[in-house]
């Protein structure tokens, strides 16, 4: 038998997609079962995220006690931005976060062997193994906050705006995922990568701030090198009817493709260095 023969290479594309869907459905079932074993813990984690979300909103509330706008951003526009940013972060968290943070542990203990041997795309199974169901609940609270902010702004987004917003959110999720996955692959080079992975939390902080608050250099770095200022600012500008030019739309979509390509390159480079552990 040809040792490089892979099910992915022989099956027709349609069957391949449906096969991956059924694998993913099995992974979901596993995750549900796991979450339901520790119900109280599951609910407490939702509460934790909810508190931190409230905390960000209170910060904005306090800032706007002392000013009427940050650049051209008004209070409720920034509330919508915090909501949009939380929504994107929670969707990202639902699908990818645990898997990214677990990668260094898989490498350190050598458990990655088991995943590499499965007859599926390795990146697929490493990235999507667990689903964080609580994050969907928190994404719901983010939608609530955005809707309330829209109401206070007297903004009624049209269907086109909504679709555009959702599509741009997906691009934002792709950027968060690609960058964090890239950071997680550092664990192939040093065993103490956990600190770096958690460092990514600090970048989320920037994603929820209004882009106009920053001077040129800072904005350039966090737009073209680490596109944190695009991830939620652009979708929320679309939703709030605050978009200045279509250039930023193209930039967000373009950067999401670039980030994904770079992370794929990083993954391939890193996996080539993998030498298992304790076996």
Partner 1 sequence: MGGAIRKYWHVFLVGIQNNLTYRFNFLARALFGLIPLIAVLCLWKTIYRGKGPGGSVGSYSLAEMISYYLLMTVVDALTAVNEDDWQIAADIRDGNISQFLLKPIDYLWYRLSLFFSGRVSYLAVAGIPLAIFVTSLHRYLVPPAGAAACAGFVVAVVLTALLQFFTSYAMAMLAFWVLEVSTFIFILFAFEYIASGHLFPLDILPPALERALYFTPFPYQLYFPVSVYMGKTAGADLVRGLFVQLAWVVAAYFLARFAWARGIKRYAAVGG
CA distances (Å), origin 130, targets 21, 69, 94, 186, 208: 14, 41, 9, 21, 26
Least distance (Å) between residue 50 CB and partner 1: 9
| Nearest-approach distance from CB 250 to partner 1, in angstroms | 25
Q: Are 169 and 88 in contact (CB under 8 A)?
A: yes
- Answer for which of 14, 33, 55, 117 binds partner 1 (CB under 8 A) is 55
Taking the C-alpha atoms of residue 124 and residue 271, their distance in angstroms, rounded to an integer, is 14
User: Tokens 């990514």 — which residue?
Assistant: 200
In the complex, what is the shortest distance from the CB of residue 71 to partner 1, in angstroms, rounded to a whole number? 6
Whole-angstrom CA distances from 276 to 16, 106, 206, 233, 268 are: 29, 9, 36, 41, 16
Candidate list 18, 22, 69, 276; residue touching partner 1; CB under 8 A: 69
Smallest distance from partner 1 to CB 272, Å = 23
| Residue 51 found at the interface with partner 1 (CB under 8 A) | yes
Neighbours of 232 (CB within 10 A): 31
Inter-CA distances, 15 with 7, 12, 20, 126, Å: 10, 6, 9, 21
Can you tell me which of 98, 133, 213, 251 binds partner 1, judged by CB under 8 A?
213
95 binds partner 1 (CB under 8 A): no
CA 206 from centre of chain = 14
What residues pair up with 69 in beta bridges, in sequence order?
74
Locate 43 and state its tokens: 């609910």
Min dist CB 201 to partner 1, Å, is: 8
Contact between 276 and partner 1 per CB under 8 A: no
Q: Which is nearer to partner 1, 21 or 218 (CB)?
A: 218
Candidate ranges 112-120, 145-153, 201-209, 250-258; the one touching partner 1 (CB under 8 A)? 201-209
Residues found near partner 1 in the complex (CB under 8 A): 38, 41, 44-45, 47-48, 51-52, 55, 58-59, 62-63, 65-71, 190, 192, 194-196, 198-200, 202-203, 205-206, 209, 212-215, 218
């Amino acid at each position: 038998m040809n040792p490089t023969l892979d099910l992915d290479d022989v099956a027709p594309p349609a069957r391949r997609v449906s096969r991956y869907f059924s694998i993913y459905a099995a992974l979901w079932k596993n995750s549900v079962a796991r979450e339901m074993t520790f119900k109280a813990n599951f609910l407490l984690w939702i509460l934790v995220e909810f508190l931190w979300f409230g905390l960000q909103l209170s910060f904005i509330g306090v800032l706007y006690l002392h000013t009427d706008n940050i650049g051209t951003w008004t209070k409720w526009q920034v509330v919508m931005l915090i909501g949009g940013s939380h929504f994107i972060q929670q969707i990202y968290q639902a699908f990818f976060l645990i898997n990214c943070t677990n990668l260094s542990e898989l490498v350190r203990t050598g458990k990655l062997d088991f995943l590499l041997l499965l007859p599926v795309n390795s990146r697929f199974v490493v990235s999507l193994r667990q689903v964080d169901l609580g994050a969907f609940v928190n994404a719901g609270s983010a939608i609530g906050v955005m809707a309330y902010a829209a109401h206070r702004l007297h903004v009624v987004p049209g269907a086109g705006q909504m679709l555009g917003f959702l599509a741009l959110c997906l691009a934002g999720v792709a950027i968060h995922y690609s960058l964090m996955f890239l950071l997680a692959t550092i664990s192939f080079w040093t065993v103490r990568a956990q600190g770096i992975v958690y460092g990514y939390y600090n970048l989320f902080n920037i994603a929820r701030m209004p882009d106009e608050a920053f001077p040129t250099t800072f904005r350039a770095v966090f737009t073209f090198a680490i596109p944190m200022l695009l991830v939620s600012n652009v979708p929320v500008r679309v939703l709030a009817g605050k978009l200045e030019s279509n250039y930023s739309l193209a930039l967000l979509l373009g950067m999401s493709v670039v980030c994904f390509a770079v992370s794929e390159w990083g993954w391939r480079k890193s996996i080539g260095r993998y030498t298992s552990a304790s076996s």
